Homo-oligomer: A and B are copies of this chain.
Amino acid sequence: MYRSHNCGELRTSHINTEVTLSGWVQKSRDKGFIVWVDLRDRYGITQLVFDEERTEKSLIAQAQKLGREFVIQVQGKVIERASKNSNIRTGDIEILVSKLEILNESILPPFTIEDETDGGEELRMKYRYLDIRRNPVKDNLIFRAKVTQEVRNYLSSDGFIEVETPYLIKSTPEGARDFVVPSRMNEGQFYALPQSPQTFKQLLMVGGMDKYFQIVKCFRDEDLRADRQPEFTQIDCEMAFVEQEDILNAFEGLTRHLLKEVNGVEIDEFPRISYDEAMQRYGNDKPDIRFGMEFGELNAVAQHKEFNVFNSAELVVGIAVPGGNNYTRKDIDKLINWVRRPQVGALGMVYSRCNEDGTYKSSVDKFYDQDDLAKWAEITGAKPGDLVCVLSGDANKVRAQLSALRMELAERLGLRDPKEFAPLWVLDFPLLELDEETNHYHAMHHPFTSPKPGQMELLDTNPGAVKANAYDLVLNGNEIGGGSIRIHDKETQAIMFKHLGFTPEDAKAQFGFLMDAFEYGAPPHGGLAFGLDRLVAILGGQETIRDFIAFPKNNSGRDVMIDAPAPIDDAQLTELSLKLNLKS
């Protein structure tokens, strides 16, 4: 037996107990006549003491040789500490060691195993197994396990059945970003790894499974943006015989449960907003509503003067920055430079200071009088002491720019409190999205998403205006889940395929087995998938998903610890009936 207790559980009630502990040497302090060693395991830290008066000399000598991260086993007696440490749970006691065994030595770690480490990102990734010993990483992984267990318990008790769908599936021509897997037994043929279990969960609904969920890895071979992973985890859900309202209720319930159990936060009813309204009020389909700064559209009160920049703009829109009148001229110039950065792309920014005395001072006083500026303040909700920032131009672009500014200012103003949680449903997403390169519409969600009732006619006249039974769940400015009510009847599906530019033959080739399945009594159904990595990070009060993944990959899709991907040898390629065809 390696231990009678772990390093986090001994208290004053254990005083005088003989115990055996095992763990890692966190650090030691050697005063010559007395040596303290902090012994660490997953559960905590317990102080070991070796001193001249009570410990054999040879044992002290042994203790003096212990290095950081040595793995040791000790026997000893729990005693009361002379100077207690209220920062750790075992701080009232220490172990007077009577026996010490080194279970394994350690060479010097490449970075210190402390909450605040001196190791950079790259180094910590290469030695991830050491990084995991650090509390912040370890606690994140334990937190993730707790969240997934809560998800499973909640959904299971709500009648959802977890069903494992296959990982070795079929690549479709649409699946340009599929990872493929050559089959040795089926020469020249390939499986694909699922980008999501979408078709399988729909088939489970056709199969009468009624309520399905799965916490499942998904895969996408795409150029990785910051904080994306080639493999990621979804909480994938689907329900039969449901309308949108049933889905929203089911997963609002789940999210509310998580917020309560995991964060101790009780939220009554999640607000709902349409996609159009979200774009109008926040310039964003995943607005962070922990703070205000809602958009005020100023066309009516800014396009009646000789200011051509505004007059020629499709949209003039502003936000009120709380306390922004404190900004110096230099601060504001910096802000203007910030919105002009290529990542944001605004041409400039107009501002109006709201003075405490009720007057205004704007960068466009030449064109606008106090009455005009008062209206800007009124529409953006600016109070004395605030600053109104105004952008103008093409509506879609200017909304995205102002949204970026809104988020940046909120960050600077400390309005994005990671301990505050503001969930929001965004409803009525557009069914179709215009691909500007090809000038073709394609499905915003996927081709089985159902349009809202009575909107089919619009498909011919104004396809971009058709709204779908599609919804996202947003938390603190991040999309944490999204889904839709699916089409389940052949006629609607045929019309959809036609409008998406599929010939019946194309449709059959790509979605044949699902369309076949729909011939045999498909029930009305719909679902939702949460991005688990993101959800866990946000519930954990952070935004970087990598910190919540045990062995993440870097931005090139590499695991730098195991050094993958890597070349494979020719024999293996030959057996797979493949040859390299390198471009370079």
Contacts and interface: CB of A to CB of B under 8 A. Distances in A.
Contacts of A180: 181-182, 568, 572, 576
Contacts of A221: 183-185
A246 B582 CA distance: 52
Contacts of A69: 520-521
A426 interface: no
Contacts of A190: 565-568
A549 B3 CA distance: 40
A79 interface: no
A497 to B, nearest CB: 18
Residue of A168, A520, A573 with most partner-chain B CB within 10 A: A520
A190 B238 CA distance: 33
A42 B163 CA distance: 14
Interface in A304-339: none
A470 B242 CA distance: 51
Interface string A516-527: 011111111000
Contacts of A189: 565-567
Given A2-B242, A180-B181, A584-B187, A145 B156 contact: yes
Contacts of A188: 567, 580, 582
A173 interface: yes
A106 B57 CA distance: 86
A422 to B, nearest CB: 28
A580 B577 contact: yes
Given A183-B221, A221-B184, A241-B2, A521 B106 contact: yes
Contacts of A572: 171, 176, 178, 180
A183 B565 contact: yes
Contacts of A502: none
Interface stretch (A30-38, A409-417, A438-446, A554-562): A554-562
A111 to B, nearest CB: 11
Interface string A146-174: 00110011001000011111111111010
Interface stretch (A124-132, A283-291, A340-348, A472-480): A124-132
Interface stretch (A115-123, A203-211, A539-547): A203-211
A551 B200 contact: yes
B577 A582 contact: yes
Contacts of A488: 103-104
Contacts of A168: 179, 219, 230-231, 553, 557, 559, 564-565
A130 B521 CA distance: 10
Given A242-B2, A582-B577, A185 B566 contact: no
A167 B223 contact: no
Nearest to A210: B42
A461 B204 CA distance: 58
A109 interface: yes
Contacts of A142: 161
A170 B564 contact: yes
B209 A138 contact: yes
Given A185-B221, A519-B106, A164 B233 contact: yes
Contacts of A109: 520
Which interface residue of A131, A164, A182, A519 has the most chain B CB atoms within 10 A? A164
Contact of A22 (B129, B173, B517, B523): B523
Contacts of A42: 208-211
A191 interface: yes
A22 B241 contact: yes
A513 B562 contact: yes
A161 to B, nearest CB: 5
A241 B20 CA distance: 12
Contacts of A208: 24, 40-42, 132-133, 138
Contacts of A357: none
A574 B569 CA distance: 19
B562 A186 contact: no
A220 to B, nearest CB: 11
Nearest to A205: B129
Given A132-B208, A578-B581, A559 B170 contact: yes
A3 B565 contact: no
Given A563-B513, A580-B577, A557 B186 contact: yes
Interface string A97-119: 00000011111010000000000
Given A522-B104, A551-B165, A581-B577, A179 B181 contact: yes
A487 to B, nearest CB: 11
A562 B194 CA distance: 13
Closest 5 pairs (CB-CB, A-B)? A132-B207, A106-B521, A170-B564, A189-B565, A2-B241
Given A168-B557, A170-B562, A185-B556, 6 more contacts: A42-B210, A107-B519, A166-B550, A167-B231, A180-B182, A188-B582
